[in-house]
């Protein structure tokens, strides 16, 4: 498995990278599923936007694996990764914009 990661990583680096990618994928997938549950319960635009942002984070991890295994070329990797960074930030800021203002304390 580690031999397929290409010439740009040593065995130790590949092991660390695959471990980090695995943990990131697992973590973002769990957060995405929690977001889906939250959206299904609340059915609000804010929950939808945050859930979409979390889904993009899962997608970034998958692209990372694709790059490590030589499926996704490095230039495409960078375009997808940095493009999704922008979209995630935009979705989160848009969700904040559409969220209800806090109610005043009594």
Q: Kindly state whether residue 103 falls inside one of the protein's structural domains.
A: no
Residue 79 is part of which domain span?
Answer: 8-97
Per the structure, how many domains does the chain have? Answer: 1
Q: What is the pLDDT of residues 33-76, one digit of tens each?
A: 999 999 999 999 999 999 999 999 999 999 999 988 889 998 99
Q: Could you write out the three-class secondary structure of 8-34?
A: CCCHHHHHHHHHHHHHHHHHHHHHHHH
Q: What is the pLDDT of residues 26-36, one digit of tens each?
A: 999 999 999 99
Q: Kindly state whether residue 24 falls inside one of the protein's structural domains.
A: yes
pTM value is: 0.80
Token digits of residue 46: 């804010």
């Amino acid at each position: 498995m580690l031999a397929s990661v290409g010439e740009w990583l040593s065995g130790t680096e590949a092991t660390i990278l695959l471990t980090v990618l695995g943990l990131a994928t697992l973590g973002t997938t769990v957060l995405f599923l929690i977001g889906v549950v939250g959206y299904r319960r609340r059915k609000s635009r804010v929950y939808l936007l945050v859930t979409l942002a979390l889904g993009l984070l899962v997608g970034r991890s998958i692209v990372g694996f694709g790059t490590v295994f030589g499926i996704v070329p490095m230039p495409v990797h960078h375009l997808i990764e940095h493009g999704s960074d922008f979209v995630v930030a935009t979705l989160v800021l848009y969700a904040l914009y559409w969220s209800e203002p806090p109610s005043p304390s009594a």
